[in-house]
Protein backbone atom coordinates (compact mmCIF):
# COMPACT_ATOMS: atom_id res chain seq x y z
CA UNK A 1 0.00 0.00 0.00
CA UNK A 2 1.36 3.41 -0.97
CA UNK A 3 1.96 6.24 1.49
CA UNK A 4 -0.71 8.27 -0.30
CA UNK A 5 -3.36 5.58 0.20
CA UNK A 6 -2.46 5.36 3.89
CA UNK A 7 -2.84 9.13 4.35
CA UNK A 8 -6.23 9.13 2.64
CA UNK A 9 -7.48 6.38 4.92
CA UNK A 10 -6.21 8.16 8.02
CA UNK A 11 -8.04 11.33 7.05
CA UNK A 12 -11.47 9.65 6.74
CA UNK A 13 -12.25 9.25 10.48
CA UNK A 14 -11.31 12.89 11.17
CA UNK A 15 -13.51 14.09 8.33
CA UNK A 16 -16.37 11.93 9.59
CA UNK A 17 -16.05 13.34 13.11
CA UNK A 18 -16.15 16.91 11.77
CA UNK A 19 -19.25 16.15 9.73
CA UNK A 20 -20.96 14.59 12.76
CA UNK A 21 -20.24 17.67 14.87
CA UNK A 22 -21.65 19.94 12.19
CA UNK A 23 -24.78 17.81 11.99
CA UNK A 24 -25.24 17.95 15.76
CA UNK A 25 -24.87 21.73 15.77
CA UNK A 26 -27.27 22.20 12.90
CA UNK A 27 -29.68 19.72 14.50
CA UNK A 28 -30.06 21.98 17.55
CA UNK A 29 -31.57 24.59 15.26
CA UNK A 30 -33.69 22.18 13.24
CA UNK A 31 -35.28 20.52 16.29
CA UNK A 32 -38.05 21.94 18.47
CA UNK A 33 -39.98 24.06 15.98
CA UNK A 34 -43.29 23.04 17.55
CA UNK A 35 -42.04 24.19 20.96
CA UNK A 36 -40.82 27.45 19.41
CA UNK A 37 -44.23 28.12 17.87
CA UNK A 38 -45.95 27.40 21.20
CA UNK A 39 -43.54 29.82 22.90
CA UNK A 40 -44.47 32.62 20.50
CA UNK A 41 -48.17 31.83 20.90
CA UNK A 42 -47.87 32.00 24.71
CA UNK A 43 -46.84 35.64 24.40
CA UNK A 44 -49.99 36.59 22.49
CA UNK A 45 -52.45 36.47 25.46
CA UNK A 46 -50.09 38.77 27.36
CA UNK A 47 -49.66 41.24 24.52
CA UNK A 48 -53.27 41.31 23.35
CA UNK A 49 -55.33 40.44 26.45
CA UNK A 50 -57.24 43.74 26.14
CA UNK A 51 -58.39 42.64 22.69
CA UNK A 52 -60.14 39.53 24.05
CA UNK A 53 -63.81 40.53 24.15
CA UNK A 54 -66.16 40.26 27.09
CA UNK A 55 -69.13 39.72 24.82
CA UNK A 56 -68.79 35.93 25.01
CA UNK A 57 -68.78 34.63 28.58
CA UNK A 58 -66.76 37.62 29.84
CA UNK A 59 -63.64 35.83 28.61
CA UNK A 60 -61.67 39.08 28.60
CA UNK A 61 -62.22 39.61 32.32
CA UNK A 62 -61.43 35.97 33.04
CA UNK A 63 -58.09 36.30 31.23
CA UNK A 64 -57.39 39.63 32.98
CA UNK A 65 -58.01 38.02 36.37
CA UNK A 66 -55.44 35.26 35.96
CA UNK A 67 -53.10 37.04 33.54
CA UNK A 68 -49.84 36.56 35.51
CA UNK A 69 -50.39 32.80 35.41
CA UNK A 70 -49.99 32.79 31.63
CA UNK A 71 -46.27 32.93 32.44
CA UNK A 72 -46.41 29.35 33.78
CA UNK A 73 -46.12 28.25 30.14
CA UNK A 74 -42.56 29.63 30.01
CA UNK A 75 -40.84 27.18 32.42
CA UNK A 76 -42.90 24.29 31.04
CA UNK A 77 -41.77 25.02 27.49
CA UNK A 78 -38.21 25.66 28.71
CA UNK A 79 -38.04 22.11 30.10
CA UNK A 80 -39.35 20.79 26.78
CA UNK A 81 -36.70 22.80 24.92
CA UNK A 82 -33.94 21.35 27.12
CA UNK A 83 -35.18 17.81 26.61
CA UNK A 84 -35.21 18.35 22.84
CA UNK A 85 -31.90 20.26 23.00
CA UNK A 86 -33.45 22.84 20.74
CA UNK A 87 -31.65 26.15 20.30
CA UNK A 88 -34.55 27.43 18.19
CA UNK A 89 -37.04 26.89 21.03
CA UNK A 90 -34.64 28.47 23.50
CA UNK A 91 -34.40 31.67 21.46
CA UNK A 92 -38.17 31.74 20.87
CA UNK A 93 -38.78 31.53 24.63
CA UNK A 94 -37.05 34.88 25.04
CA UNK A 95 -40.13 36.53 23.52
CA UNK A 96 -42.74 35.54 26.18
CA UNK A 97 -40.09 35.90 28.89
CA UNK A 98 -39.40 39.51 27.86
CA UNK A 99 -43.11 40.36 27.59
CA UNK A 100 -43.95 38.82 30.99
CA UNK A 101 -40.95 40.57 32.56
CA UNK A 102 -41.98 43.97 31.22
CA UNK A 103 -45.54 43.50 32.49
CA UNK A 104 -44.91 41.98 35.92
CA UNK A 105 -41.19 42.08 36.63
CA UNK A 106 -41.46 45.31 38.62
CA UNK A 107 -43.59 43.50 41.19
CA UNK A 108 -40.67 41.22 42.04
CA UNK A 109 -38.13 43.98 42.66
CA UNK A 110 -37.05 43.83 46.35
CA UNK A 111 -36.86 46.88 48.58
CA UNK A 112 -40.09 48.40 47.30
CA UNK A 113 -42.02 50.52 49.82
CA UNK A 114 -41.20 51.43 53.40
CA UNK A 115 -40.67 54.69 55.24
CA UNK A 116 -42.66 56.81 57.65
CA UNK A 117 -46.42 56.32 57.88
CA UNK A 118 -49.38 57.76 59.77
CA UNK A 119 -51.90 54.92 59.60
CA UNK A 120 -51.81 51.16 59.28
CA UNK A 121 -55.02 49.82 57.73
CA UNK A 122 -56.23 46.25 57.28
CA UNK A 123 -59.00 44.62 55.27
CA UNK A 124 -60.21 41.03 55.51
CA UNK A 125 -63.06 38.93 54.18
CA UNK A 126 -63.52 36.80 57.30
CA UNK A 127 -65.75 34.19 55.56
CA UNK A 128 -69.31 33.58 56.71
CA UNK A 129 -68.43 29.88 57.08
CA UNK A 130 -65.29 30.56 59.14
CA UNK A 131 -65.05 27.72 61.69
CA UNK A 132 -62.98 29.73 64.19
CA UNK A 133 -63.76 33.48 64.24
CA UNK A 134 -62.07 33.73 67.66
CA UNK A 135 -58.74 32.76 66.12
CA UNK A 136 -59.29 35.12 63.19
CA UNK A 137 -60.03 38.00 65.57
CA UNK A 138 -56.82 37.40 67.51
CA UNK A 139 -54.73 37.18 64.32
CA UNK A 140 -56.11 40.54 63.23
CA UNK A 141 -55.47 42.16 66.61
CA UNK A 142 -51.86 40.92 66.42
CA UNK A 143 -51.44 42.80 63.12
CA UNK A 144 -51.68 46.05 65.14
CA UNK A 145 -53.62 48.04 62.52
CA UNK A 146 -55.16 51.43 63.34
CA UNK A 147 -58.25 50.81 61.18
CA UNK A 148 -59.71 47.37 60.42
CA UNK A 149 -62.33 46.62 57.77
CA UNK A 150 -64.11 43.27 57.72
CA UNK A 151 -66.42 41.78 55.09
CA UNK A 152 -68.83 38.83 55.01
CA UNK A 153 -69.67 39.02 58.72
CA UNK A 154 -72.64 37.06 60.04
CA UNK A 155 -74.72 38.51 62.93
CA UNK A 156 -73.39 35.82 65.29
CA UNK A 157 -69.74 36.44 64.34
CA UNK A 158 -70.20 40.21 64.60
CA UNK A 159 -70.81 39.80 68.34
CA UNK A 160 -67.55 37.84 68.64
CA UNK A 161 -65.51 40.47 66.79
CA UNK A 162 -67.07 43.32 68.78
CA UNK A 163 -66.20 41.59 72.03
CA UNK A 164 -62.64 40.69 71.03
CA UNK A 165 -61.88 44.07 69.44
CA UNK A 166 -63.42 46.22 72.18
CA UNK A 167 -60.22 46.84 74.15
CA UNK A 168 -58.13 47.73 71.09
CA UNK A 169 -60.70 49.42 68.85
CA UNK A 170 -63.19 51.54 70.81
CA UNK A 171 -64.88 52.92 67.67
CA UNK A 172 -66.94 50.61 65.47
CA UNK A 173 -69.39 50.97 62.59
CA UNK A 174 -71.33 47.93 61.34
CA UNK A 175 -73.68 47.91 58.37
CA UNK A 176 -75.13 44.66 57.08
CA UNK A 177 -72.29 42.24 56.35
CA UNK A 178 -69.46 44.82 56.50
CA UNK A 179 -67.93 46.66 59.44
CA UNK A 180 -65.10 49.01 60.37
CA UNK A 181 -63.17 49.26 63.65
CA UNK A 182 -60.89 52.18 64.50
CA UNK A 183 -58.52 53.33 67.23
CA UNK A 184 -59.52 56.88 66.29
CA UNK A 185 -62.98 58.51 66.50
CA UNK A 186 -65.50 57.85 63.75
CA UNK A 187 -67.60 60.99 63.42
CA UNK A 188 -69.82 60.15 60.47
CA UNK A 189 -70.95 56.87 58.94
CA UNK A 190 -73.56 55.66 56.53
CA UNK A 191 -74.58 52.68 54.44
CA UNK A 192 -73.71 52.79 50.76
CA UNK A 193 -76.28 51.39 48.35
CA UNK A 194 -74.64 49.23 45.69
CA UNK A 195 -77.80 47.54 44.43
CA UNK A 196 -78.29 44.65 46.86
CA UNK A 197 -81.27 43.80 48.98
CA UNK A 198 -78.97 44.11 52.02
CA UNK A 199 -76.04 46.35 52.90
CA UNK A 200 -72.61 45.30 51.63
CA UNK A 201 -70.83 48.66 51.67
CA UNK A 202 -70.37 51.56 54.08
CA UNK A 203 -68.70 54.94 54.34
CA UNK A 204 -67.13 56.29 57.51
CA UNK A 205 -65.11 59.41 58.33
CA UNK A 206 -62.24 58.65 60.68
CA UNK A 207 -60.64 61.57 62.54
CA UNK A 208 -56.94 60.80 62.65
CA UNK A 209 -54.24 62.98 64.30
CA UNK A 210 -53.36 64.17 60.76
CA UNK A 211 -56.93 65.00 59.74
CA UNK A 212 -60.14 63.37 58.57
CA UNK A 213 -60.04 60.48 56.09
CA UNK A 214 -63.03 58.96 54.30
CA UNK A 215 -63.06 55.17 54.48
CA UNK A 216 -65.16 52.94 52.25
CA UNK A 217 -65.62 49.24 53.04
CA UNK A 218 -67.21 47.12 50.33
CA UNK A 219 -67.94 43.52 49.43
CA UNK A 220 -68.89 43.37 45.76
CA UNK A 221 -71.01 40.63 44.24
CA UNK A 222 -69.43 37.25 43.70
CA UNK A 223 -68.41 35.89 40.31
CA UNK A 224 -68.69 32.36 39.00
CA UNK A 225 -66.80 30.38 36.36
CA UNK A 226 -69.04 27.80 34.70
CA UNK A 227 -70.24 26.37 31.41
CA UNK A 228 -71.57 29.78 30.38
CA UNK A 229 -68.21 31.44 31.05
CA UNK A 230 -67.22 34.05 33.62
CA UNK A 231 -70.46 35.26 35.22
CA UNK A 232 -69.89 38.75 36.63
CA UNK A 233 -72.82 40.91 35.51
CA UNK A 234 -74.13 41.54 39.04
CA UNK A 235 -70.66 42.39 40.29
CA UNK A 236 -70.14 44.80 37.40
CA UNK A 237 -73.38 46.60 38.30
CA UNK A 238 -72.22 47.05 41.90
CA UNK A 239 -68.86 48.34 40.64
CA UNK A 240 -70.53 51.16 38.73
CA UNK A 241 -72.68 52.22 41.66
CA UNK A 242 -69.83 52.21 44.16
CA UNK A 243 -67.52 53.93 41.67
CA UNK A 244 -69.99 56.79 41.28
CA UNK A 245 -70.18 57.26 45.05
CA UNK A 246 -66.39 57.36 45.44
CA UNK A 247 -65.93 59.69 42.46
CA UNK A 248 -68.29 62.16 44.18
CA UNK A 249 -66.42 61.94 47.50
CA UNK A 250 -65.43 65.43 48.69
CA UNK A 251 -62.82 64.44 51.27
CA UNK A 252 -59.26 64.82 49.99
CA UNK A 253 -58.06 61.63 51.67
CA UNK A 254 -59.91 58.47 50.64
CA UNK A 255 -59.21 54.81 51.48
CA UNK A 256 -61.29 52.08 49.82
CA UNK A 257 -60.99 48.58 51.27
CA UNK A 258 -62.72 45.30 50.71
CA UNK A 259 -63.34 42.19 48.68
CA UNK A 260 -63.90 43.35 45.09
CA UNK A 261 -64.15 39.82 43.66
CA UNK A 262 -61.84 40.95 40.88
CA UNK A 263 -58.20 41.86 40.34
CA UNK A 264 -56.76 45.26 39.49
CA UNK A 265 -56.09 43.90 35.97
CA UNK A 266 -59.78 43.18 35.37
CA UNK A 267 -61.06 45.84 32.97
CA UNK A 268 -64.53 45.59 34.52
CA UNK A 269 -63.24 47.20 37.73
CA UNK A 270 -62.24 50.38 35.88
CA UNK A 271 -65.36 52.39 36.95
CA UNK A 272 -64.33 51.78 40.56
CA UNK A 273 -60.53 51.92 40.36
CA UNK A 274 -60.33 55.00 38.12
CA UNK A 275 -58.60 57.73 40.09
CA UNK A 276 -57.51 55.32 42.84
CA UNK A 277 -54.05 53.86 43.51
CA UNK A 278 -53.55 50.26 44.58
CA UNK A 279 -51.51 50.15 47.79
CA UNK A 280 -50.04 46.81 46.73
CA UNK A 281 -49.12 48.11 43.30
CA UNK A 282 -47.58 51.29 44.69
CA UNK A 283 -45.79 50.00 47.78
CA UNK A 284 -46.03 46.20 47.89
CA UNK A 285 -43.66 43.41 46.90
CA UNK A 286 -44.85 40.47 44.83
CA UNK A 287 -48.30 39.78 43.45
CA UNK A 288 -50.06 39.86 46.82
CA UNK A 289 -52.49 37.05 45.95
CA UNK A 290 -55.23 36.65 48.57
CA UNK A 291 -57.61 33.97 47.32
CA UNK A 292 -58.08 31.08 47.88
CA UNK A 293 -56.27 31.19 51.21
CA UNK A 294 -54.68 27.73 50.97
CA UNK A 295 -53.15 28.38 47.54
CA UNK A 296 -53.74 32.00 46.54
CA UNK A 297 -54.08 32.53 42.79
CA UNK A 298 -55.56 36.03 42.53
CA UNK A 299 -55.63 39.29 44.47
CA UNK A 300 -59.30 40.06 44.81
CA UNK A 301 -59.01 41.82 48.19
CA UNK A 302 -57.79 45.40 47.91
CA UNK A 303 -56.73 48.56 49.67
CA UNK A 304 -56.94 51.50 47.26
CA UNK A 305 -56.33 55.15 48.03
CA UNK A 306 -56.72 58.71 46.77
CA UNK A 307 -55.12 61.78 48.27
CA UNK A 308 -52.89 59.77 50.62
CA UNK A 309 -49.63 57.91 49.97
CA UNK A 310 -49.08 54.16 50.50
CA UNK A 311 -45.64 53.49 51.96
CA UNK A 312 -45.87 49.72 52.44
CA UNK A 313 -48.32 46.91 51.65
CA UNK A 314 -48.38 43.19 52.32
CA UNK A 315 -50.57 40.10 52.79
CA UNK A 316 -50.95 38.29 56.12
CA UNK A 317 -50.93 34.49 56.50
CA UNK A 318 -54.18 32.54 56.53
CA UNK A 319 -56.46 33.20 59.51
CA UNK A 320 -58.95 30.37 58.97
CA UNK A 321 -60.95 32.29 56.35
CA UNK A 322 -60.97 31.38 52.66
CA UNK A 323 -59.30 34.78 52.00
CA UNK A 324 -56.08 36.25 53.35
CA UNK A 325 -55.98 39.70 55.00
CA UNK A 326 -54.34 42.66 53.26
CA UNK A 327 -52.48 45.40 55.13
CA UNK A 328 -51.10 48.78 54.10
CA UNK A 329 -49.30 51.64 55.77
CA UNK A 330 -50.22 55.08 54.47
CA UNK A 331 -48.97 58.63 54.93
CA UNK A 332 -51.59 61.37 55.07
Answer for the pair 188, 204: CB distance below 8 angstroms, yes or no: yes
Q: Please indicate, yes or no, whether residues 77 and 222 belong to a single structural domain of this protein.
A: no
Q: Please indicate, yes or no, whether residues 194 and 300 belong to a single structural domain of this protein.
A: yes
pLDDT of residue 168: 98
pLDDT of residue 93: 97
Domain boundary among 83, 108, 133: 108
Residue 297 lies in a domain: yes
Q: Please indicate, yes or no, whether residues 100 and 183 belong to a single structural domain of this protein.
A: no
Domain boundary among 59, 83, 108: 108
Q: Please indicate, yes or no, whether residues 189 and 253 belong to a single structural domain of this protein.
A: yes
Q: Please indicate, yes or no, whether residues 71 and 155 belong to a single structural domain of this protein.
A: no
Q: Which of 321, 331, 312 is nearest to 136 (CA)?
A: 321
pLDDT of residue 1: 54
Residue 266 lies in a domain: yes
pLDDT, tens digit (0-9, with 9 covering 90-100), for 225-243: 655 555 566 777 788 889 9
Phi-psi region of 191 (alpha: psi -120 to 50; beta: other; left: phi over 0): beta
pLDDT, tens digit (0-9, with 9 covering 90-100), for 251-267: 999 999 999 988 988 88
Residue 64 lies in a domain: yes
Query: Regarding predicted confidence, which is higher, 327 or 262?
Result: 327
pLDDT of residue 223: 67
Distances 65 to 2, 50, 171, 287, 327 between C-alpha atoms, Å: 78, 12, 35, 12, 21
Residue 5 lies in a domain: no
Answer for the pair 103, 74: CB distance below 8 angstroms, yes or no: no
Answer for the pair 326, 142: CB distance below 8 angstroms, yes or no: no
- The count of other CB atoms within 10 Å of the CB of residue 253 is 23
Q: Please indicate, yes or no, whether residues 126 and 45 belong to a single structural domain of this protein.
A: no
State the Cα–Cα distance between residues 56 and 43, nearest whole angstrom. 22
Lowest mean pLDDT among 13-27, 37-51, 127-141, 278-292: 13-27
For the segment 147-160, the average pLDDT, to the nearest whole number, is: 98
Distances 330 to 85, 200, 306 between C-alpha atoms, Å: 50, 25, 11
Domain boundary among 85, 108, 131: 108
The domain tally of the chain equals: 2
pLDDT of residue 283: 93
Distances 37 to 5, 93, 278 between C-alpha atoms, Å: 50, 9, 36
Q: CB burial class (10 A; 0-12, 13-18, 19+) of residue 144?
A: exposed
DSSP bridge pairs for 315: 326
> SS3 breakdown of the chain: % helix, strand, coil, rounded to 5?
40, 25, 35
Reduced to 3 states (helix: H, G, I; strand: E, B; else coil), residue 171 is strand
State the Cα–Cα distance between residues 48 and 191, nearest whole angstrom. 39
Q: What is the mean pLDDT of the chain?
A: 89
**DSSP assignment of 200-241:** -EEEEEEEETTEEEEEEEEEPPP-EEETTEEE-HHHHHHHHH
State the Cα–Cα distance between residues 316 and 126, nearest whole angstrom. 13
State the Cα–Cα distance between residues 91 and 43, nearest whole angstrom. 13
Answer for the pair 66, 104: CB distance below 8 angstroms, yes or no: no
Owning domain of residue 77: 31-108
Amino acid sequence: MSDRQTAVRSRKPKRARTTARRQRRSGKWRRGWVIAVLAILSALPLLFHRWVPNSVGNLGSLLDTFLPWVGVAIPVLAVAALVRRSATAGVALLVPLAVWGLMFGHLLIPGKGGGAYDLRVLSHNVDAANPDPERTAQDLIDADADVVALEEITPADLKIYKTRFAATYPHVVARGTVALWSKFPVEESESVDVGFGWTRALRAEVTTPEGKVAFYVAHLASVRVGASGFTSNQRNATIKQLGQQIAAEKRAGVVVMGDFNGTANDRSLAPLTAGLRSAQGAAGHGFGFTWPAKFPMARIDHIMVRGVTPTKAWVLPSTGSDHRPVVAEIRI
